[in-house]
Structures are given as C-alpha cells and as structure tokens.
C-alpha cells in the first residue's frame, strides 16, 4: 500500500509538471509574439522647434506623438539640451524623449526607421538650428526615410543667409514629402528652394477636443463654475492689450482668468481654462487654434514679433472674420464676436483635415 501511495503522488506531481510546462510554453509563445510585434513597430525620430515656455510648442509635439502611437509606431522626441534643461515635465508624461547635446555625434542611423520634421517654426530664419532640425543636415547620408509635416517659415520674408539657403536647396531633396502650414510658406519655399510644398493643417488640428481633455482628467481645477470667465493667454504683454482685456471684462461682466507660462502644469491650466471660458483673448497662434478646437469665441492680437503669416493663413483657411486685431491699428469689432463662436468654413476645414491625415499616413507607409 505504501508503494502504491508513493507512485500515486509521483504521478500527480508529474501530471502537474506537464500541465505547467504546457502553459509555460503557451505563455512563452504569446510573449514572443508580443516582443516580435513590438520590435516590428517602426522607430520614429521626431524633430521640432523647442521652446519650454510655449504652450503651442508643447501641444504640437503632444499631437504628433498621439497620432503616431495611435498608428502603432514607436516615436521618440529628439530634444536639444539647453543648460541641462529640456522640454518641461508635461512632455515627459506622454512622450519618450532622447536628450542630446550635438545632432551630429549623439544620434545613430541604426536607431531609427523613419525621421519626421514636425511643425512649428522649424524654418524661421532666426532659428539657430534651422539646418539641423528643419532640414536634418546631420542625417544627409543616412539611409532612412524622412518627411516634413507642417513646417513654418514664421515670417512673410525669409531673410536667411545664402549659405543656409544653398544648403537647404540640397537637403530638401532627401525628403519623401514636404508640407507647410501656411500658404505664404509655400511661396517662400518655391522661390528659394525650387520645390512646391503641400499645404496641411497644424498637427494640433488633427485631434479633437476630447483627445486634449484626457490631459486634464487628473488635473485639479480651481475655477468657480458659477462665474463667466474671460481667459487671456498673452505672450507679449503691453498696456494697450491689458487695457483692452479689462474693458471687455467690465463691459460683459466676465471674470479674467490669466494663463501664465511660468507656473507648474501650465499646459494643463491652458487646456482647462479654454475648456471653461466664455471668451478667449490671445496674441498666440495656438491660443487661437485651441479656441477653434474647443469652439470658443475669441479675439486675437496679431503678434508681428513672433510671425504674422500664421494668423493670416488661418483666417484665409477658415474664414474667421474680424477676430484679428492689430494693436497699432484698432478696427471696430461687432458685439457678436465677444459671445459667439465664428461660423467657420467647416467644409473646407474637413477637406483639409482629411488631406492632412492622408499626407501623414502616406509618408508613414500606411496608405498607397
């Protein structure tokens, strides 16, 4: 009896071991498939203008990263170190970032399957890394596919040096697709570089408001829901603009909610403020863009210092009417502007959005 009991226990143990081996084999198979699928995802390096104190600059990167991940890619934002700082903590929550000190020595061809020059003013004549970031000069001899999405020259005149222009003429030929976000930028690039880029929407327009509300799902909002807010996001303050905002808030009984750029979680505050406001007053391109995305009435002071063609192109694209103000040349604004969202050209916007997504997907190899 004793021997039979021992045999029975051995058989049970053997049976358990066989079951465990069976499931371990299946688990290993699924792990291998997962690793294989992860390894098959294309590794994309994203290059963009960097400004840690600019909401739009952060959200342009967020939007492109969001889109690439939704398409199944592995994006990495290449961020230049400046005084041991990098893009703020907001980006680090959502984006894989590689910090570098030198484009030519700190990046390797073997680490990427595709490179993207992302919007914003990567072609501004006063951007010190226009060739490295805007035209990927460091990767001229790399055997890696590259394209440019919604680049901007920023200004109506491109007063770059002949050295930069001649280099850009050569470097532009390495890209499979070239697109810009302003009509004026098309004419500038045609004139100086001899190619005609495609017009596309700023990447932030390719997401909808719900995608951005995900950013603030855990953000503690300090607003009084019973009040009507006028939100101001002003990059370049002046007494004229301050007085204008005060007058409008008094006339319409709005409480002013100022969006500061030198505070923690300023991107979250920006999104939360636009989401609750009744009126937005800004001198920022992306302040205007997000007012449109969230369907908020807005007034925009044209910011010539930071580049004015963005505002003109946006107005031309969406037919926004008299919501743009030159602070040196005020014109009368209809009262409806302060309380109603503009009747934008939705048909044109939807066509452009579809075209922009198609350009992106084609250059990612997702469409033929």
Domain map (residue ranges) of the chain: 1-40, 42-208+351-363, 220-345
Which residues have a Cβ under 8 Å from the Cβ of 170 and sit 6 or more positions away? Answer: 140
Average of pLDDT values for 93-114? 92
Helix (H), strand (E) at residue 90:
helix 89-94
Q: Which residue has the tokens 């920023």?
A: 154
Q: What is the mean pLDDT of the chain?
A: 84
Instruction: Please determine, for residue 27, whether its predicted confidence score (pLDDT) is greater than 60.
Output: no
Which residues have a Cβ under 8 Å from the Cβ of 169 and sit 6 or more positions away? Answer: 192, 193, 194
What gap in Å lies between CA 295 and CA 293, rounded to an integer?
Answer: 6
Residue 37 pLDDT level (bands cut at 50, 70, 90) = very low
- CATH number 3.40.50.2000 is the correct assignment for the domain at 42-208+351-363: yes
Residue 317 pLDDT level (bands cut at 50, 70, 90) = confident
Exposure class string for 133-161: b at 16+ Cβ within 10 A, else e: bbbbbbbeebebbbbbbbbbbbbeebebe
SS3 of 74, please?
strand
What gap in Å lies between CA 135 and CA 111, rounded to an integer?
Answer: 19
Looking at CATH, the fold of the domain delimited by 220-345 is given as Rossmann fold (3.40.50)
What gap in Å lies between CA 297 and CA 278, rounded to an integer?
Answer: 7
Instruction: Please determine, for residue 83, whether its predicted confidence score (pLDDT) is greater than 70.
Output: no
Highest mean pLDDT among 86-100, 115-129, 296-310: 115-129
Instruction: Please determine, for residue 126, whether its predicted confidence score (pLDDT) is greater than 90.
Output: no
Instruction: Please determine, for residue 191, whether its predicted confidence score (pLDDT) is greater than 80.
Output: yes
> What's the confidence (pLDDT) of residue 2?
58
**264-268 long-range CB contacts below 8 Å, 24 or more apart?**
264/89, 265/90, 265/219, 266/55, 266/88, 266/90, 267/55, 267/58, 267/59, 267/62, 267/88, 267/90, 267/215, 268/90, 268/215, 268/216, 268/219
> What's the confidence (pLDDT) of residue 330?
64
> What's the confidence (pLDDT) of residue 30?
45
Is 42-208+351-363's fold the same as 220-345's? yes
Whether the model clears a pTM of 0.95, i.e. scores above it, the answer is: no
> What's the confidence (pLDDT) of residue 322?
78
């Amino acid at each position: 009896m004793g021997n039979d009991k021992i045999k029975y226990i051995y058989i049970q143990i053997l049976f358990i071991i066989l079951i465990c081996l069976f499931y371990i084999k299946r688990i290993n198979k699924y792990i291998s498939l997962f690793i294989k699928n992860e390894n098959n995802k294309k590794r994309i390096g994203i290059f963009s203008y960097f400004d840690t104190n600019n909401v739009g600059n952060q959200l342009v990167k967020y939007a492109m990263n969001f889109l690439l991940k939704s398409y199944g890619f592995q994006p990495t934002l290449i961020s230049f170190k400046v005084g041991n700082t990098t893009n703020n903590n907001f980006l680090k929550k959502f984006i894989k970032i590689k910090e570098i000190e030198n484009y030519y020595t700190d990046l390797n061809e073997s680490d990427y399957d595709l490179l993207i020059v992302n919007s914003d003013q990567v072609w501004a004549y006063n951007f010190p890394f226009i060739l490295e970031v805007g035209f990927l000069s460091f990767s001229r001899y790399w055997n890696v596919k590259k394209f440019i999405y919604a680049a901007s020259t920023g200004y109506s005149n491109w007063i770059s040096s002949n050295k930069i222009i001649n280099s850009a003429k050569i470097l532009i030929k390495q890209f499979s697709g070239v697109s810009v976000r302003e009509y004026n930028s098309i004419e500038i690039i045609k004139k100086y570089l001899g190619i005609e880029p495609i017009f596309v929407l700023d990447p932030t327009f390719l997401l909808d408001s719900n995608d951005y509300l995900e950013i603030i799902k855990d953000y503690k909002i300090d607003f009084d829901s019973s009040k009507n807010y006028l939100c101001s996001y002003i990059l370049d303050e002046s007494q004229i603009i301050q007085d204008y905002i005060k007058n409008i808030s008094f006339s319409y009984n709005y409480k002013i909610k100022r969006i500061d750029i030198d505070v923690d979680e300023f991107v979250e505050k920006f999104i939360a403020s636009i989401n609750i406001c009744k009126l937005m007053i800004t001198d920022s391109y992306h302040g205007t863009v997000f007012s449109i995305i969230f369907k908020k009435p807005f007034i925009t002071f044209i910011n010539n210092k930071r580049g004015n063609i963005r505002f003109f192109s946006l107005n031309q694209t969406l037919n926004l009417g008299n919501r743009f103000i030159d602070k040196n040349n005020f014109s009368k604004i209809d009262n409806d502007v302060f309380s109603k969202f503009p009747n934008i050209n939705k048909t044109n916007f939807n066509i452009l959005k579809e075209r922009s997504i198609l350009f992106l997907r084609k250059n990612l190899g997702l469409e033929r």
